[in-house]
């Protein structure tokens, strides 16, 4: 099997993953709900197809023959649109359809893009539970995303080897591609708790501001497709403002 299938290829994360995969010489099948809305997605090495991430048959049809799949789908073009209208079951149903569809297609690797709102802060609460740190009107969207992560965990013994990569800190659109990133756990960088500090832990070691560009998020996603390291788990990914190459 060759190539990557990207569900939600029309969004910021999906576009970044597509660009990163192409730069590495991979072909991409870009799955969107309405290809006519994304005439700019077509490029050499990219096949744009119509698909429904909530339908296992549609997922299987789009994914067949690929080396791995990426879940970067949102029911909205921006979380601000979710206010008062989010389907609380969207991400759970997407998780089920992806796991069932990919399993039927024989695609055993899934990398999902997470949401930092359900990481733990220094006080041990999820970010979305702090009304100062997270706008309460966006909480329904965060709850729906969290339910999708829970469903992946509930089905962790299936044939699809999944990982969720959750950006920690500010996710910058148009930010530079550094080609590097840190990997943490369930807490925001700099939080206190088991595993804090250093790559693979929850801390940032330098006290700087955690952030991540979409381009570096895409680096992490494609890395986990091409050379899987983490399995059936969720981790955070981030960089630190002002960090030098030799600090890594």
Check: CB of residue 78 under 8 Å from CB of residue 135. no
% of residues, the chain, pLDDT over 90: 79
Instruction: In whole angstroms, give the CA distance from residue 62 to residue 8.
Output: 12
Q: What is the CATH number of domain 4-247?
A: 3.40.50.720
By CB neighbour count within 10 A (0-12 exposed, 13-18 middle, 19+ buried), where does 44 fall? exposed
Q: Give the tens place of pLDDT for each residue, 119-149.
A: 999 899 999 999 988 999 899 999 999 999 9
Residue 173 has what pLDDT?
92
Q: Give the tens place of pLDDT for each residue, 150-163.
A: 999 999 999 999 99
The domain segmentation of the chain, as residue ranges, is 4-247
Residue 210 pLDDT greater than 80, yes or no: yes
Which of 17, 52, 56 lies closest to 35 in space, CA to CA? 52
Instruction: Kindly indicate the confidence band of residue 207, based on its pLDDT and cuts at 50, 70 and 90.
Output: low
Check: CB of residue 154 under 8 Å from CB of residue 101. no
Instruction: In whole angstroms, give the CA distance from residue 8 to residue 76.
Output: 10
Tokens of 97: 């359809």
Element (H, E) at 4: strand 4-7
Q: Give the tens place of pLDDT for each residue, 220-246.
A: 999 999 999 999 999 999 999 877 544
Residue 110 pLDDT greater than 80, yes or no: yes
Residue 80 has what pLDDT?
54
Instruction: In whole angstroms, give the CA distance from residue 192 to residue 190.
Output: 7
Hey, how many other C-beta atoms are within 10 angstroms of the C-beta on 50? Answer: 13
Residue 247 has what pLDDT?
43
Query: Among all chains, which residue has been given the structure tokens 């807490």?
Result: 187
Q: Span 190-202, mean pLDDT?
A: 40
Write out 110-147 in H/E/C secondary structure: EEEECCHHHCECCCCCEHHHCCCCCCHHHHHHHHHHHH
Residue 75 has what pLDDT?
83
Residue 55 pLDDT greater than 70, yes or no: yes
Rg of the chain over all Cα atoms, to the nearest angstrom: 17
Residue 77 has what pLDDT?
56
Q: What is the mean pLDDT of the chain?
A: 89
pTM above 0.75, yes or no: yes
């Amino acid at each position: 099997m060759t190539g990557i299938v990207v569900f939600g290829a029309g969004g910021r994360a999906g576009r970044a993953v597509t660009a990163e995969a192409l730069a590495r010489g991979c072909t991409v099948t870009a799955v969107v709900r309405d290809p006519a809305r994304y005439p700019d997605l077509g490029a050499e090495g990219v096949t744009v197809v119509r698909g429904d991430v909530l339908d296992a048959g549609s997922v299987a049809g789009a994914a067949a023959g690929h080396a791995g799949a990426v879940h970067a789908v949102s029911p909205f073009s921006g979380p601000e649109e979710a206010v008062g209208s989010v389907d609380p079951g969207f991400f759970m149903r997407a998780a089920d359809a992806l796991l069932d569809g990919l399993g039927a297609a024989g695609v055993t690797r899934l990398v999902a893009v997470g949401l930092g709102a359900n990481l733990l802060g220094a006080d041990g609460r999820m970010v979305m539970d702090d009304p100062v740190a997270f706008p309460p009107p966006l909480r329904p969207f965060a709850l729906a995303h969290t339910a999708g992560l829970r469903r992946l965990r509930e089905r962790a013994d299936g044939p699809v080897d999944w990982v969720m990569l959750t950006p920690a800190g500010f996710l910058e659109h148009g930010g530079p591609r550094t080609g590097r990133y840190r990997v943490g756990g369930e807490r925001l960088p700099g939080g206190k708790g088991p595993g804090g500090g250093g790559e693979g832990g929850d801390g940032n070691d330098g006290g700087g501001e955690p952030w991540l560009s979409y381009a570096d998020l895409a680096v992490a996603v494609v890395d986990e497709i091409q050379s899987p390291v983490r399995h059936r788990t969720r981790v955070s990914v981030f960089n630190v403002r002002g960090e030098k190459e030799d600090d890594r």
